[in-house]
Chains A and B, each alone.
Chain A
Amino acid sequence: MKRINDAVVGLVVIVIVLALAGALAWVKGTDVGKRPHEVVARFHDVGNARVGNVVVIRGVVGGRIQAIELAPAGWVDVKMKLDPAVQLPPEPVVLLNESSLFGEWQATIVERSALPHDETVRQQIDDGSRGGGVLPGATLPGIGKLTAVAGQIAGDVASVAGRVEVAFDEQAARELRGSIRNVSDLSRMLATTVRTHASDLDTLSNQLRFAIATLNRTAVTVQGTASRIDSAATSKQVRDMIDNLAQASTELRHTSTQVRDLAGRFATTQTRLDSFLANGDSVMEKIKRGQGSLGLFVTDPSMYRRTDSLLVQMRSLIADIQANPKRYVSIKLF
């Protein structure tokens, strides 16, 4: 009897223990026989994330948070147990965020390039990247923070509304009514102006349309030309043309060298000519001032008179020599 009692108690104990172990493993999502791999992410603050929260990769639950521990230098290390089949994306980072409005948090593993465009988040990720050996992590603001900010904004709006209420008295209302009336008049005037200039606008738009059509035609022509250039570019003519152009450019380069020499010589000649002209100017100036023989000759009338007198004398001498050669020329042979 006692042995039967022992057997019954033992059976009940074993059955309950096995059932409990199985139930726990099932609820925790443990894969029996498969070794999950662990990754550790580093955060400044983990918000309301807790052990057991899910880890999501590309929208699919791929594991759970296994432990959250304080680490040195103000960090918090979050250990995550991932399913064996899960492969991390390149450059993985971990975001802790609320998964619903009911306080559920989750860890989301994403690529660094897929981070939200938030300066704070990127700063957290950059800080976490310096550690090495762990994934960098950032915590997105929870609904509590968002509602707190929204509450602050609502308070500010209420404050502004209160000020507007204070500022918007009867006088302001009258002025606003006047402003509205003015705006009404202005809009009426604008309508009249628009009606007046509607035909101009039509003409302008027609011209614009015509210009655009012209531009289109031009574009078609340019396109045709371009296609012709394309087709020509593929034939031999272009090569010949390019060869001719090369030869022409060689000759042109030669000619330009000669022209450059010529220009150099011309510059030398010009320099000399300048010098000659300067000297001529100097001579002419001296002549003008009556310096030198030529100056005296040009400017002094006595010189002219003497020269004229000399010429008269010379002419009479020559006449005398012609008339009486023997007076001046005596030829003796012995």
Chain B
Amino acid sequence: MTSADTVITVTPLPGEGKENPLVGGLSVVGGGVRRLLSTIGSEARFLADVVVGFRDVRTWIPETTTQALKLGVGSLPIALFIATFTGIVLALLASYSFTGAVPLYFVGTLVGKTVMLELAPVLTGLALAGRVGANIAAELGTMRVTEQIDALETLTYDPVAYLVVPRVVSGTLMFPLIVAASMMVGVGAGWVASVLLLHLSSPDFVKGLRLFFQTFDVEYGMVKSASFGFAVTLVGSRRGLRAEGGAVGVGRAATSAVVYSAVLILVLDAFWAVTWLLGREAT
């Protein structure tokens, strides 16, 4: 009998199996804090890895256009589709709200402001969170569970520089462009809807559109959408790289990527509104 086969039996003392409720509660709180700090730490470490990965330019640059094509150009149709209907519905809603109280040319103002400042970035961001975030999480998750990433590491490739950085860069750069296209299409759709369905003249719509227009509106929407692109691709990559447990794990990673991305988009939307929009005098 070797030492490994030795079985040590511990007999509990009287009253030892009964857990003190206070200690139990504290251990729950402590465990939660520990897990929270662990999560924050691991996410921060991942972010640091991405920053470090940026230095490996030769690895991520060649992949960036491929990702830009897949994540950006490939997302244009759905983004423009959403923007078209958003513009139309906004024009009709504005007309419905303004009936008899506000001049109809304010439809142009409302469509322009709402599309540029909020709807084009957020709706496009949410749509792309589903499309791009899930895509990245599933792709990287599959690579993780099929040990392709391990193979890359074995070949001394930095998986973050090769897989994450190109996606994050292309997402951060392409999201604003997609949103810009969505803005133009959304306002155009609202314009066409106003002319065809509301019998508003083109000069009136343009008058309303120009009335309170500022370049800041476009800048704000594009900066916001860049932050959305960064968040969506980063979350998708992180969820994919952490996938485990086969197809189920990949599915879970994709789902959580979409959920986290959507939540982050809304949080970032509020963040920009509070830090930039609120503090800005409309001058």
Contact = CB atoms under 8 A, between A and B. Distances in A.
A19 interface: yes
B73 A9 contact: yes
Given A12-B177, A29-B210, A102-B103, A24 B215 contact: yes
Contacts of B218: 20, 24
A2 B283 contact: no
Contacts of B66: 2, 5
A5 B62 CA distance: 11
A23 B206 CA distance: 12
A28 B214 CA distance: 8
Interface in B106-163: 106, 112
B184 interface: yes
Contacts of A100: 103
Given A17-B177, A27-B210, A8 B73 contact: yes
A8 B170 CA distance: 14
A287 interface: no
A24 B213 CA distance: 10
B96 interface: no
Contacts of A29: 210
B283 A68 contact: yes
Interface in B188-216: 209-215
A50 B184 contact: no
A143 to B, nearest CB: 15
A12 B70 CA distance: 12
A209 B253 CA distance: 110
A20 B181 CA distance: 8
Residue from A9, A17, A100, A104 whose CB has the most chain B CB atoms within 10 Å: A9
B40 interface: no
A12 B76 contact: yes
B61 to A, nearest CB: 11
A2 B102 CA distance: 54
Residue from A5, A28, A100 whose CB has the most chain B CB atoms within 10 Å: A5
A291 to B, nearest CB: 119
A6 interface: yes
Main secondary structure of the interface of A (DSSP, over half): helix
A102 B184 contact: no
Nearest to B102: A102
A28 B215 contact: yes
Contacts of B211: 104
A24 B184 CA distance: 10
A18 to B, nearest CB: 11
A321 interface: no
B257 interface: no
A102 B212 CA distance: 12
A23 B213 CA distance: 12
A52 interface: yes
Interface of A: 2, 5-6, 8-9, 12-13, 16-17, 19-20, 23-24, 27-29, 50-52, 68, 100, 102, 104
7 contacts: A5-B65, A9-B69, A12-B177, A16-B177, A24-B218, A50-B282, A102-B106
Closest 10 CB pairs of A and B: A20-B180, A6-B65, A9-B68, A16-B177, A5-B69, A9-B65, A12-B73, A5-B65, A9-B69, A16-B181
Interface of B: 62, 65-66, 68-69, 72-73, 76, 102-103, 106, 112, 177, 180-181, 183-184, 209-215, 218, 282-283
Given A5-B66, A9-B65, 13 more contacts: A2-B66, A16-B177, A16-B180, A19-B180, A19-B181, A19-B184, A20-B180, A20-B181, A23-B184, A50-B283, A51-B214, A100-B103, A102-B102
